[in-house]
Structure 1
Amino acid sequence: MPLPGRAACLARRGRRRSGRGAPEDAGGVPPPRKGALVNRLPNFLYVGPDKAGSSWLHETLIKHPDVYLTPAKDLYYFDRYYDRGTDWYAAQFRDAGGQEIVGEICQDYLFHPEAAGRIRDTLGTNVRVMVSLRDPVDRAWSSYLYMRKHGIGPDTFSEALRSRPELLEHGRYATGLDRFLEYYPRENVHVALFDDLTKDPQGFLDAVTDFLGVDPLPLSEKEMEARLPAAKARSVRLAHVARRGADWIREHDGARIVGRVKRSPLVHKALYRPIDREAVRPATEDVATVRAALAAEIESLELSLGLRLREAWGW
């Protein structure tokens, strides 16, 4: 839980650059060893959370002529695969050309205790960082529905809240931002709201491209659909096997393959059928559980960002 006075500390940290003694002209990046692949390292990262528009952002930004994103979202380098080394990570961006922005979208970096420091050590302090905040109740519920459609986790949301700690931990936005603002100035961290994406996708995207310093990207009518439709597995067993297979391929350096398959509308249609997102909602007592667990966290976030999040989210 946030400590008293932490919000003020967050704001102070956000206004200063922490080079930790690294050369200023290198942006805090140690000198590369001979032969290292340094020209492909990203200068933009979406770090989380999950279920807050990251898939839409990836599918949209990847079409921008001045932006290169890896074909696969979620490389998980700075949390799961850091031992593979910088050359492995750089190789994931080998197809980047002369784009001004080279980036990765990974939804878990915000919550890993060492990810922010690893990113600073690898990419320096000039990298642009983005987060998208969603009502933690809706985010946890969406994450639970995603688990269930893959045959993962308990049968009820209340059981999942007790047995799957990530459902609540991934709502601790202030804790995650605290770690990043320790290393990055506030102007290098773009805090977006998922509510803005659902209400005005073009405005949401315009704020992102402005933050990145690239031209606006007009959205087509189809691209204005802000979220993938809620879905249920046609066969839970088949969806579970597909998920396990994707995890195995990632473990064996096949993130690009996973990315291409996941982006296929035919694959998604074969595995899942859409459901009415509003027809299934969490129970009142489960909503209260999430709010009680994260109220102090969100209060700290409101103070540090100057936003009235609980009011906007109907808390």
Structure 2
Amino acid sequence: MTAKLDFIYIGTPKAGSTWLFEALRHHPDVQLFPGKASKFFETETPRPIAEYDQQLNRFEGSGKIGEISHDAYLYPHNAALLREHNPDLKILVCLREPGDFARSLILWLHAHTRDYGDCAQDMLKHPKIRSWMNYAAGLQPFFAEFPADQIKVLFFEDFKANPAKFYRDVCDHVGISHEWQPASLQEVVNPARAPRFDLLTQIVFKIGVVTRLLGFGGIVEAAKRWKLLEKLLYAPSKAVEIGQHEAARIERALARNSYDQLERTIGVDVPAAWREN
């Protein structure tokens, strides 16, 4: 019998996806892809779902199979693909206040790659970043394909305020016990940081990208937990100014006009603080 994906996190990045991966990867009732994501749902062109079934058949045991694929909502065809694979799939989404999301995303990208530009102004023009910022457009295909009660929309602000409740909400939606507590429950995971040496960090990032493409994402995730490598790559007190604060202000202003549409799409109100900023 072909294994089925039981749940998937589809977006966004910089909204707790790495924390979620760390929180669930040791759960006794969960089986996650060791590389965080299979990358099957992170491509412009849809692939045959049979290829994904082959990956799932590598899982053994009775735990719920899950995937943390924070780019999945960038590609509309994924909604139908996931519906085809498992109509009962549980979907997780976490959204971050757009200005804060833009600031964090820009800092993270600047630390690891120049593929999106050298400064915040250039990055904000990149098509992929524009897609990341357009929550309503990214989520609409999934709400069109799946019943709303199968999609749990969470907010990063709630995660920061109460990680334990956030974890319980995730477990309840996925259908697993929240009595098991992860060691990383109160930890800050994968924050936006400045590199010690730009070129070194970019080279290591490129190596990680290639390693994932070769199917060894588990090695990358293990390396990210290596404290010595973290200290080598990142400077905890180094300040960087590439226009991220102005970018946050711009995105915050632009997003105010989209909240009504977003709320209609997801069926819940955005946090009041989003409209007050």
Please give the TM-score of this superposition, normalised by the length of structure 1: 0.77
**Coordinate RMSD, CA, aligned:** 2.7
Alignment of 1:258-277 (within 5 A): 258-275=220-237
Q: Secondary structure at the match of 1:307?
A: coil
**Cα distance in 2 for residues equivalent to 1:38 and 1:310:** 44
What letter corresponds to residue 72 of structure 2 in structure 1? Y
Mapped contact 1:175–1:297 kept (Cα < 8 A): no
Alignment of 1:1-315 (within 5 A): 38-39=2-3, 41-80=4-43, 82-83=46-47, 86-87=50-51, 90-91=54-55, 94-99=58-63, 101-121=64-84, 123-152=85-114, 153-162=116-125, 164-217=126-179, 219=181, 223-275=185-237, 282-284=244-246, 286-304=247-265, 305-309=267-271, 311-312=273-274, 314-315=276-277
**Cα distance in 2 for residues equivalent to 1:125 and 1:107:** 20
Q: Secondary structure at the match of 1:63?
A: coil
Mapped contact 2:256–2:275 kept (Cα < 8 A): no
Give the 3 Å change call, closer, same or farther, for CA 230–306 of structure 1 in structure 2. closer
Q: Secondary structure at the match of 1:182?
A: helix
Q: How many residues align?
A: 274
What letter corresponds to residue 79 of structure 1 in structure 2? E
Mapped contact 1:71–1:260 kept (Cα < 8 A): no
Residue segments in structure 2 that go unaligned for 5+ positions in a row: none
Give the 3 Å change call, closer, same or farther, for CA 278–130 of structure 1 in structure 2. farther
Please give the TM-score of this superposition, normalised by the length of structure 2: 0.87
What letter corresponds to residue 55 of structure 1 in structure 2? T
1:240 CA displacement: 0.9
1:293 CA displacement: 3.4
**Cα distance in 1 for residues equivalent to 2:226 and 2:98:** 29
1:89 CA displacement: 5.2
Q: Secondary structure at the match of 1:107?
A: coil
Give the 3 Å change call, closer, same or farther, for CA 233–92 of structure 1 in structure 2. farther
**Cα distance in 2 for residues equivalent to 1:178 and 1:60:** 28
Deviation string, structure 1 residues 87-117 (Cα, Å, up to 9, x no partner): 4554256243111x11000001111121111
1:135 CA displacement: 0.6
**Cα distance in 2 for residues equivalent to 1:47 and 1:148:** 23
Mapped contact 2:208–2:220 kept (Cα < 8 A): yes
1:272 CA displacement: 1.6
What letter corresponds to residue 209 of structure 2 in structure 1? D
